[in-house]
Chains A and B, each alone.
Chain A
Amino acid sequence: MEEQPGLSDQYRMSSPWPMLIAFGLAIAEVGIIWPLAPLAVGGLLLLTGSIVGIVREAGYVESPWPLLSGFALALVAIGLALFAYSGGAFAVNSVSESLRTSGSIGLRGLSIAFAGVIALVGALVGKYWTTANAGHSV
């Protein structure tokens, strides 16, 4: 269909974040339940990154980095708590047989915490080494 000057056309019509949030949530969910560390880490990064993105796009925050580091710290805290709960065990093993071993719980904790660490590094790099601080001129 063609572009048409209808009513709703006077508002922002597109945003890249919703799709990324949804996919991030799905990937993180699978990665954490089935301890597949790469999916857990990647999915959490996608999810937190896009939540921060959409919040900034909507103008609720000026700069994305403080919010991102907040999420990062929360992930680190949750992840370490889970790791501690597992008694510091850690194992990379097969999907179907090991969902409830303490090694696999430790793996889940570490992957969540690791996602938090990467997000934190991202936030610091973003804040001190890029110019993307201000909100958009829009």
Chain B
Amino acid sequence: MAIEGQIALTVLMGALLVGVAVWLTRLEDWRSYTPLAGGAGGAIGDESAHVHEEKPAGIIRWLTTVDHKDIGILYGTYALIAFVWGGLAAVLMRAELATASLSLLNNTQVYNALLTSHGITMLFLFGTPILAAFSNYFIPLLIDADDMAFPRINAIAFWLLPPGAILIWAGFFVAPFTEAMTTGAATSWTMYPPLSVEQTNPSVDLMLLGLHLTGVSATMGAINFIATIFSERGEDVGWSNLDIFSWTVLTQSGLILFAFPLLGSAIIMLLLDRNFSTVFFAAEGGGTILWQHLFWFFGHPEVYILVLPPMGIVSYVLPKFSGRKLFGFKFVVYSTLAIGVLSFGVWAHHMFTTGIDPRLRASFMAVSLAIAIPSAVKTFNWITTLWNGSLRLNTPMLFCIGFISNFIIGGVTGVFLAAIPIDLVLHDTYYVVGHFHYVVMGAIAFAGFAGIYYWYPMYTGRMYQRTLAKWHFWLSMIGTNLTFFAMIILGYAGFTRRYATYDGLTVGPVEVITAMHQAATLGAFLLLIGQIIWVWNMVSSWIDGPKVEDGDPWNLAETNMKSREWAWFERKLDTTIATDGGAEEEPLADGGEPTESDES
């Protein structure tokens, strides 16, 4: 960058700092605000023993909040935006793959960039944050804590994510304006050297920096959850009656604590290799296999980091609509802990074909097969919970059942891959892509949807539109199975992953491959329609869905299933009506005066 560029940046940066300074002095107004001046809603301000501060209004509230519920909503919104980005990248790729030759994208490098962005976005910017949304909002309610143990750290952890996303996606935004960058980073989410070292495209550096920030964020969050669950539990919440969701988040946080700092260090080594001529992953230094060991030592636990809390959500929601307690609660907890421990002992099953020592391979195969056992324990417990229950097939329940069904396919294909001889054939084919998408889309995202629908009345105060929700479920269920089962067949047909075209095929069942690619693309479009319906339903219902007046919208009290967070919600509804009085216009809206805001 020439000197004028530096001067322009200096001016910009200076303006930003001055802006921040001015903003801070304006904030003093509310920061030193006393309870007496609190205005409406300050009914408990007279409890002067507490530092009661109003939340500032409008956008400032969201920029400065340290309240776990607000931060949960922020995480959720962020994850939704990432889901849209990652989803559109996937749709573009699938559209490209509908035909054998390059037809939609400019060149194959764009495909590679989309592939990379899709993977990284879905895992780090959608997956981890959507889980943090649930755990931030609900864990303090479930364990009867006032807030997270470190509310400010909680906010820092969230705010590291938006810059992280901007850096990870930067290549796409910046490339059109500079010659130095060709397109987004095209390393794939695994960032294997030597490719990732040799790609001179600076968007790779930005992506690594962004990933580093999201890793710091996840680690801060994990420390916070561990501290909260250990030390902030209410009087009557002991280890014996800690709910299953909190157990899974506690285990997940432990995994994060060991896995993410390692990823951060490996990323820094990669940055140094790229920019400062170190040789950590060069043949004359540690070698490229070193990266694979470090990456997968993080990477395999990462997949369980992503799947454990969704398993917790399913274990939590499923019994509510089965009218029975979770079968074998203790064993579900034990299997969670077992998965947590074992997941650090299987990483080399991603490296069976790299030529590592066969004795090492065999031991990793053994542990990988063993980890299927606790996963199966959970599955049997869910099925047994359903057995003879009085099922209520509403949307959260449908998504839970869809989770189980998809997780079985995802898990069984995983067991196949864990067997060395089979993996030697199927590694790096679409079979692997089918396997993990059954888990990440079919299970993790489904559990996320189950939770989003189940708690919707609580965090919005309104009800979603049930018919649209059913459409969302069925389109997602059919779309997922069409897309990813086709991929499993593609894998059996020997079609390799990460290719933008297939017009050069001279061997193999070409017709089957073409048909399966088209089926997968069709499924992807069904998924797209389903998700558009979902976003529409969420947003429009939040704005003017029917208000929830009952503190127990799912009638859980009937089957004795009403849990702590709904009791909190009921209290909240009661006190809102009691203290708001006529000050807020909300209570009027349903009654006499139809205000404009209500009709729209």
Contact = CB atoms under 8 A, between A and B. Distances in A.
Please indicate whether A and B come from the same complex rather than being unrelated chains: yes
Interface of A: 1-23, 25-27, 29-30, 33-34, 36-39, 41-42, 45-46, 53-54, 57-58, 92, 94-96, 99-100, 136-138
A16 B9 contact: no
7 tightest A-B CB contacts, nearest first = A18-B155, A26-B163, A22-B159, A42-B13, A3-B41, A14-B64, A38-B10
Contacts, number: 176
Contacts of B70: 13
B47 A23 contact: no
Contacts of A14: 30, 53, 55-56, 60-61, 64-67
B206 interface: yes
A36 B7 CA distance: 10
A136 B53 CA distance: 14
Contact of B52 (A10, A45, A54): A10
Interface in B1-34: 1-3, 6, 9-10, 12-14, 16-17, 20, 23-24, 27, 30-32
Given A3-B55, A9-B52, A30 B167 contact: yes
A92 B30 CA distance: 43
Contacts of A19: 63-64, 155, 159
Contacts of B271: 33
A34 B205 contact: yes
Nearest to A107: B6
A33 B63 contact: no
A92 B2 CA distance: 8
Contacts of B152: 15, 17-18, 54, 57-58
Given A14-B53, A94-B1, A29 B209 contact: yes
Interface stretch (B308-316, B388-396, B579-587): B579-587
Contact of B6 (A37, A57, A138): A37
Contacts of A45: 17
B193 interface: no
Contact of B209 (A5, A12, A23, A30): A30
A12 B163 contact: no
A105 to B, nearest CB: 9
B333 to A, nearest CB: 26
Interface of B: 1-3, 6, 9-10, 12-14, 16-17, 20, 23-24, 27, 30-32, 40-41, 43-44, 47, 50-56, 60-61, 63-70, 140, 146-147, 151-153, 155-156, 158-160, 162-164, 167, 180, 200, 202, 205-206, 209, 212-213, 216, 271, 275-277, 459-461, 568, 571-572, 575-576, 579-580, 584, 586
Contacts of B571: 6
B54 A33 contact: no
B461 A1 contact: yes
Contacts of A38: 6, 9-10, 12-14
B160 A11 contact: no
A13 B70 CA distance: 10
Nearest to B276: A100
Given A3-B41, A41-B13, A100-B277, A136 B54 contact: no
Given A14-B60, A37-B10, 4 more contacts: A2-B41, A11-B147, A18-B153, A18-B156
Contact of B55 (A13, A46, A94): A13
19 contacts: A1-B460, A4-B41, A4-B575, A5-B44, A10-B44, A12-B66, A13-B53, A14-B65, A14-B67, A16-B31, A18-B66, A18-B159, A22-B159, A23-B163, A25-B160, A30-B167, A38-B12, A95-B180, A99-B276
A13 B50 CA distance: 12
Contact of B63 (A5, A9, A16, A92): A16
A8 B68 contact: yes
A16 B13 contact: no
A12 B67 CA distance: 8
Nearest to B153: A18
A2 B206 CA distance: 39
Contacts of B164: 26
A83 B251 CA distance: 44
Nearest to B579: A5
Contacts of B216: 25
A17 B56 CA distance: 14
B202 A3 contact: no
A53 B17 CA distance: 15
Contacts of A16: 23-24, 27, 31, 63-64
Contacts of B202: 34, 95-96
Contact of B159 (A23, A53, A100, A136): A23
A39 B438 CA distance: 43
Contacts of A13: 53-55, 65-67, 70
A36 B162 CA distance: 21
A11 B65 CA distance: 11
Contacts of A95: 1, 180, 202
Contacts of A1: 459-461
A63 B9 CA distance: 32
A124 B51 CA distance: 31
Contacts of B576: 2, 4
A116 to B, nearest CB: 15
